[in-house]
């Protein structure tokens, strides 16, 4: 199973929705039978949360991350895949 999460709030907002997204991903990563996790950071918002504060594993195993500073409106027209770049 693959779980896709809009991860932009996690890297742009420390409290609120950003913290919720970070904690959700951390909890999924701790599952014994965890799903593949795809994180989508698409948008022009300023990334204010430091990388080390995200709590993502260094090896990135079972985790795919798509990072793009393109407009979020493009995501309506482009099928997002963690392996895709646009």
Per-residue pLDDT averaged across 4-26, rounded? 94
pLDDT at res. 75: 66
Based on the number of CB atoms within 10 Å of its own CB, is 76 exposed (0-12), middle (13-18) or buried (19 or more)? exposed
Burial of 21 by CB count in 10 Å (0-12 exposed, 13-18 middle, 19+ buried)?
A: buried
Q: Which two tokens stand for residue 80?
A: 């997002």
Helix residue ranges per DSSP H, the chain: 8-12, 17-30
pTM, full prediction: 0.80
Across the range 47-55, mean pLDDT stands at 91
What are the Cα distances from residue 54, in Å, to 8, 18, 73, 78, 82?
Answer: 11, 10, 25, 26, 18
Model pLDDT, residue 80: 54
């Amino acid at each position: 199973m693959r779980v896709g999460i809009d991860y932009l709030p996690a890297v742009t907002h420390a409290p609120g929705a950003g913290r919720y997204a970070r904690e959700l991903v951390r909890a999924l990563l701790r599952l014994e039978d965890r799903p593949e996790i795809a994180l989508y950071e698409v948008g022009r918002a300023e990334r204010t949360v430091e990388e080390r504060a995200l709590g993502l594993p260094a090896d990135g195993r079972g985790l795919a991350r798509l990072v793009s500073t393109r407009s979020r409106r493009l995501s309506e027209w482009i099928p997002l895949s963690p392996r895709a770049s646009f």
